[in-house]
Structures are given as C-alpha cells and as structure tokens.
Structure 1
Amino acid sequence: DVLGLLNKKPPETEVIITGRYADEKLIKKADLVTEMKEIKHYFKEGVKARKGIEY
C-alpha cells in the first residue's frame, strides 16, 4: 500500500511517484502534483518503446 509506506517514511525523505491515473487519496497526500500533456511524441514517427524509458 503506497499510502501506508508514505505515512511511515521519515520526514526528511522525499519520494517521487510517477504514472497515470493517480488515486485521489494519493493526490491529497502529496505536497506537489504535476499533470503533463503530450504535445509531440516520437511514437507517432514510428519510434518503438525503449526498455528503461517507456517501460
């Protein structure tokens, strides 16, 4: 449980979580939330997903 881990972490520890469709509880717990919007993506030019980058 991510929220459980966040509640147990030391105050001086910073955590960065990425991904889509964040649960509202996680958003409320966070100090900073950023939403990114795709403007241009190389997938549209036929570039394949790369291990360690897209997955």
Structure 2
Amino acid sequence: MKDKGILKNLGGRGRLTDLINSIATASNVVSHAKLVKNKSILRRLIGAASEVVAMGYE
C-alpha cells in the first residue's frame, strides 16, 4: 500500500487504523445492539412526552 501511494490516499496509517477499528465485528455486535435498543427507548420516551405536552394544550 505504501509503495503504490494507497496508504497516503487513505489518509495515512492513523486513518487506516481508525477505519479498521470502526468496522462492526462479531465481538462488538452485542454492544451495538444494546446501543440501538437504548436509542429506540429514548425515541419512544420523547414521543410519549410530546403527547403529554400536546394534551396540556387541549
């Protein structure tokens, strides 16, 4: 990669390391799924709170 200039085009070794570390793997799927679930719960709470606010204006 270095000889062909590909590494430089990617942004160097640091950028390549960041890309490798950001790839979803089987080892972090559970962690990612928990994050998605928690965000879903928060969105539902926001929706419920919005409904309560709307009821206050009725």
Shorter-chain TM-score: which interval? under 0.3
- Per the normalisation by structure 1, the TM-score is 0.25
Normalised TM-score (structure 2):
0.24
Larger RCO, structure (CA 8 Å, separation 6 or more): 1
User: Larger radius of gyration, structure 1 or 2?
Assistant: 2
Structure richer in helix, relative to its length: 2
